[in-house]
Amino acid sequence: MLITELLEKNARLYKNEVALVELNPSDERDKASTWREASLIEVARPNSPYRREMTWFEFDIRANRFANLLLSRGTKRGTKVGILLMNCLEWLPIYFGILKAGCIAVPLNFRYAADEIQYCVDLADVEILVFGEEFISRIDEIHDNMNPVKTLFFVGPNAPSYSEDCWDRMAYCSSLAPPVSVSETDHAAIYFSSGTTGFPKAILHNHKALYCSCLTEQNHHGQTHDDVFLCIPPLYHTGAKMHWFGSLISGSKAVLLRGVKPEWILRAVTEEKCTIVWLLVPWAQDILDEIESGKINLSHYLTDQWRLMHIGAQPVPPSLIKRWLKYFPNHQYDTNYGLSESIGPGCVHLGVENINKVGAIGIPGYLWEAKIVDENGEPVKRGDVGELCVKGPGVMLCYYKNPEATAEILKDGWLYTGDMAMQDEDGFIFLVDRKKDVIISGGENLYPVQIEDFLRRFDKIKDVAVIGLPDPRLGEIAAAIIELKEGVQCTEEEINIFCTDLPRYKRPRKIIFADVPRNPTGKIEKPVLRERYCHGRLVEAQINS
């Protein structure tokens, strides 16, 4: 089956039921300070500046119209169509329209600078680019130089002169499904790696991978037609969209929240009666911090229907979940591990029934296999650290136009993740660190994630990242970049005293109080930190060597 067929099924079965809601709490109502003051049980009217909604029937119709618009421009099977939009009600109909037309969807990171947009468009051979008003200044810089792009469609009012009004053009297109035959083995989408080690790589997936991610997500979290999923992360990323696929397969409502403030998240849960919320670690921490500081009073929100909180995209500190369950004791909890190369939503997952194993990323997900291997590709014994490999229907076909990089990561059907992990006696997998992030200090391997998890237990610390700094004697030393909670004072001596419970060789040799940068999917941007803090140390180490 194809995910476009799931959309069409929902349009038949749930024609007039709401499929998608878009919430813009930073819009006019919030600026007038009325949003927070409104009654907790008030539901904003559909299609206001603050809230817009779309039924399953409207969703399918808009996807058909966009597919037929693409075909009217001479697109063929495999034509690449880029999407450069913030999360909005238009995003998913455009994505599904691309798939219905037999084209390949190419979602782009909305934080890309102009040169990164141009790089990705060129790399993926994008011929049509759909963009929104937030990106006008960036497209202004490069539209004449995006060589493969033949057509620019604009979503929003006042289209730039070099683009066409997407919704105006769609109005003249048929609302019937396009006469295009698509199979599960056809190419469907190109996603981009996080790009934390330079410009990103293009990751090619087929239609089978998209559908199988629906099956995996629904198996893990048991979405029913009555569930409501709150989607906060960016839709250009595999994680957010593939977790929404559980709503797609069950025909249930999803809410797109444009903003991550704790009060906005809890207000959305209250107003829309959300039952499932997928968070990133920083957002969960922010919610807890504001509850504990008294900025948020949980009694002001209606959360009894909220049944599941799950987290992905990065290691989850056990201390965070312990804190979370203190305030939300009736929540099910799950954590999901995946990569864009394995198209999420959980080639490895903890499972809501395994709360006693918090700290592990879990066991192989539904339809997936996993193994941990040494440098020769041989399985290590349980308890030993090795590289995590996964195998399943969501593994990428290749890095587009990069056979060398593909060969490095795909071997005999197994995806070598680059993550170092170990498996306990019960078969649960614990993430140790990224292979490239391991610090070798005086011949000892230090795994930053383990040190970070320890430091997060200190109640003055909001966030922490551990990196290796060059050292003339030890090769590298561990440095902790520590972001303190708002309004808190802390000294290096306090951190060192707290770290006396760590083995001496694991203790950070340098403490830096600074903000911890994270990318849109919540991952710590360690290359940014290395660039920021390592260069001077490297020069010093070379002089002293």
Task: Give DSSP secondary structure letters for 133-183.
Answer: GGGHHHHHHHTTT-TT--EEEEESSS--TTSEEHHHHHTTS--SPPS----
Long-range pairs of 365-372 with CB within 8 A, sequence gap ≥ 24: 365/216, 365/220, 365/336, 365/392, 366/215, 366/216, 366/219, 366/220, 367/212, 367/215, 367/216, 367/392, 367/393, 367/394, 368/216, 368/392, 368/394, 370/429, 371/414, 372/421, 372/422, 372/423, 372/429
Q: Are 181 and 187 in contact (CB under 8 A)?
A: no
Q: Span 420-430, mean pLDDT?
A: 93
**Which residue ranges make up each domain of the chain?**
3-327, 444-544
Rounded CA-CA distance 513/80 in Å is: 45
C-alpha atoms less than 13 angstroms from C-alpha of 320 in its C-beta half-sphere:
27
pLDDT attached to residue 535: 58
Stretch 164-170: mean pLDDT: 94
pLDDT band at 164 (very low <50, low <70, confident <90, very high): very high
pLDDT at position 393:
95
Mean pLDDT of 170-182: 96
Q: Round to whole Å and give the CA distance between 70 and 82.
A: 12
- Please state the rounded mean pLDDT for residues 406-410: 95
Task: At 452, give phi and psi (nearest 5°).
Answer: -60, -45
- Confidence at residue 418, expressed as pLDDT on a 0 to 100 scale: 87
- Report pLDDT for 285: 86
Q: Which segment of 46-55, 86-95, 112-121, 148-157 scores lowest on mean pLDDT?
A: 46-55
45-82 tens-digit pLDDT: 455 668 999 999 999 999 999 999 999 999 999 999 99
The CATH class of 3-327 is alpha beta
Question: When comparing pLDDT for 31 and 85, which is higher?
Answer: 85
Contact 272, 255 (CB under 8 A): yes
For the segment 120-135, the average pLDDT, to the nearest whole number, is: 97
At 211, is the pLDDT very low, low, confident or very high (cuts 50, 70, 90)?
A: very high
- DSSP element (H, E) containing 84: strand 80-84
The b/e string for 136-147 (b: 16+ C-beta within 10 A; e otherwise) is bebbeebbeebe
Integer Cα distance of 217 and 249 in angstroms = 9
**Percentage with pLDDT > 90 across the chain:** 68
Query: What's the confidence (pLDDT) of residue 540?
Result: 44
pLDDT digits (tens, 9 = 90+) for 488-537: 999 999 999 999 988 787 899 999 999 998 876 677 888 888 888 885 54
- Highest mean pLDDT range out of 182-186, 260-264, 338-342, 418-422? 182-186
Q: Which CATH class is domain 444-544?
A: alpha beta
Q: Return the percent helix, strand and coil in the chain, to nearest 5.
A: 35, 25, 40
Which residues are within 8 A (CB) of 238 and not within 5 positions of it... i.e. 6 or more apart?
191, 213, 338, 340, 343, 344, 345
pLDDT of residue 319: 82
pLDDT band with cut points at 50, 70 and 90 for residue 198: low
**pLDDT score recorded for residue 38:** 36
CB of 392 closer than 8 Å to CB of 369: yes
The answer on pLDDT for 542 being more than 50 is no
Sorting pLDDT into bands at 50, 70 and 90, what band is 29?
A: very low
Peptide bond into 234 cis (omega under 30): no
